[in-house]
Amino acid sequence: MDTTVYIRLRRRIVVPPEAQIRLSDVARIVADPEWERRLLPLPVLRVRPEDGHLLVIDMLHIVKVIREAAPGVAVETYGEPHTLVEVAKDGVVKPRRTLFALAWVLLFFGSGMAIINFHADVNMPEVQRRIVRLLTGNPDWHPWLFQVPYSLGVGFGMLLFFNRMLSRRWNDEPNPLEVEMFMYQENVNHYVITDEYRKKHEREEEGRT
Amino acid sequence: MTAAASGFAVAFLGLAAGFAVGSAFVALLIVLDIVPRLVQFTRAHRRSWAFESALLAGAMYFSCADFFRWTLPLPNVALLAPAVFQGVFVGMLAAALTEVLNVIPIVTKRLRLKPYLFALLMAMALGKVAGSLVDWLILQAK
C-alpha cells in the first residue's frame, strides 16, 4: 500500500466557539482511500474560550497529529504552511448591518465634501467660466453645458475605475478596490500569523524557565 | 465657429474633465486604503459594490448640488449628520495619509518609542481635535 499522504492546508477557516477542529476542516488530503478515511476525521485542535477569536494551526502540528495516528506514513505538504482559524458565533462571519449603514453614509458625505473641497481648492467655477468664454466667446453665460457633462463624467470616471456599469461588470478582472481589499486582508493575515507564532514561542520560552 | 459646434466642444471638454477628476478621485481614496479598512470594520467582504455606490452617489450629488445650487429646506439640526460624518472622513483621510507616508513606524523605530505607540497615536488625534477647535472657534470665529 502506498503510504504517502499529500496535504494542502486551507488558508482560512471559520469555526464556532469551542469547536472541535478536525483534519477535514483544515486540510485537503490526497492519499490511499483507506488512509483518507482514517485520517480525515482526526481531531486536530479544540478551540478554547481563552484562545481569542483568531488562532493559527501550524503545519508541523498537523504532521505531528498524522504521525501519531498513523506512524510510518510519509507526509508531503503543499501550499501555505499554516491555517488561520477565525472563531465566530455559529461559525459564520456576519456582516454588521448598522455599522455598514454608517459606513455608507460616511463615504457618501465624505466623498461629497471632498469633491466640493477640490472644486473650491482649484477655483473650479472660475475655470469653467473661462473655458466657456474661450470656446464660445460668450462671457455671461451660466456654464451648465460644461457642468452637466462634467458631473456625469465624474461618475463615469469613477465607474471606469471600479470596472463596472451598475452591477454588471465589463470584464472578469477584479477592480483596483477589490485588489486593494484583498491585499489589505492578506497583510492582516500575515501579521496575525506572525504574531501568533511569536506568542507561541514566548509561551514555550516561559514554560522552559 | 457656430453655436452648436462650440456647444459640443464645451460639453465634450466637460465630460473629459469629469472623467479625469472622477478616476483620480477614486484612485486617491483607494491608495489611502480607506475603503478596505471600512470593509474590515463592517465585515462586508465581497460587497465592494455597496461601498462604491456610496462614493459615487456622494461625489455626483454634491458636485451637482454645488454647481446648480440644489438647496434642501432642512432644519439646522440636520447639519449634525454631515458634520459628524465629514469630520470622521477627514480624520480617516488624515490618519491614512500619515500611514501611507510611514511617519509613525519610522518615528517609533528611530526614537525607540514602540511601547508608547498608543500614546503617540492619541497625541496625534488629540492634537488634531484641539487644532480644529482652536481654528474654528478662535482663529476663524468671525
Domain ranges for chain A: 4-91, 97-157
Type and span of the H or E element at A58: strand A54-58
Residues of B in Cβ contact (< 8 Å) with A169: none
Over 60: is that where the pLDDT of A106 sits? yes
pLDDT confidence of residue A86: 86
**Binary contact (B21, A153; C-beta < 8 A):** yes
Q: Residue A204: pLDDT band by 50, 70, 90 thresholds?
A: confident
| Interchain contact B8–A (C-beta under 8 A) | no
pLDDT confidence of residue A140: 63
Q: CA A138 to CA A128: how far, in whole Å?
A: 12
Q: CA A58 to CA A55: how far, in whole Å?
A: 10
Over 70: is that where the pLDDT of A110 sits? yes
Over 80: is that where the pLDDT of A63 sits? yes
Query: What share of chain A has pLDDT > 70, as a percent?
Result: 92
pLDDT confidence of residue B33: 81
Q: Which of B18, B43, B61 sits opposite A150 (nearest CB)?
A: B18
CB pairs under 8 A between A and B: 237
| Interchain contact B120–A (C-beta under 8 A) | no
CATH of A4-91, one of 3.40.50.1470, 3.40.50.80, 2.60.480.10, 2.40.70.10: 2.60.480.10
Determine the distance in angstroms separating the CA of B31 from the nearest CA of chain A, rounded to an integer: 8
pLDDT confidence of residue A144: 79
- Residue in chain B closest to A128 (alpha carbons) equals B14
Residues A154, A157, A162, A164: is their CA dihedral positive or negative?
A: positive
To the question of pTM greater than 0.90 for the whole model, the response is no
**Binary contact (A111, B58; C-beta < 8 A):** yes
Over 70: is that where the pLDDT of A137 sits? yes
Residues of B in Cβ contact (< 8 Å) with A146: 10-11, 13-14
| Interchain contact B26–A (C-beta under 8 A) | yes
Instruction: Determine the average pLDDT of the residues in A26-52.
Output: 85
pLDDT confidence of residue B42: 81
pLDDT confidence of residue A167: 54
Which residue in this structure is represented by grid cell 507561541? A200
Over 70: is that where the pLDDT of A139 sits? no
pLDDT confidence of residue B118: 81
Q: Which of B34, B42, B74 to mutate to test the interface with A (most CBs of A within 10 A)?
A: B42
Q: Residue A94: pLDDT band by 50, 70, 90 thresholds?
A: confident
**Binary contact (A147, B15; C-beta < 8 A):** no
Which residue in this structure is represented by grid cell 489611502? B32
Q: Residue B138: pLDDT band by 50, 70, 90 thresholds?
A: confident
* Residues 30-69 of chain B whose Cβ lies under 8 A from any Cβ of chain A: 30, 33, 35-45, 47-68
**Bridge-partner residues for A58, per DSSP?**
A82
Q: Which of A99, A105, A111 sits opposite B42 (nearest CB)?
A: A99
Task: For chain B, give the longest Cα–Cα distance.
Answer: 70
Q: CA A81 to CA A87: how far, in whole Å?
A: 20
| Confidence check on the interface: ipTM exceeds 0.90, yes or no | no
**Binary contact (A136, B6; C-beta < 8 A):** yes
**Binary contact (A145, B14; C-beta < 8 A):** yes
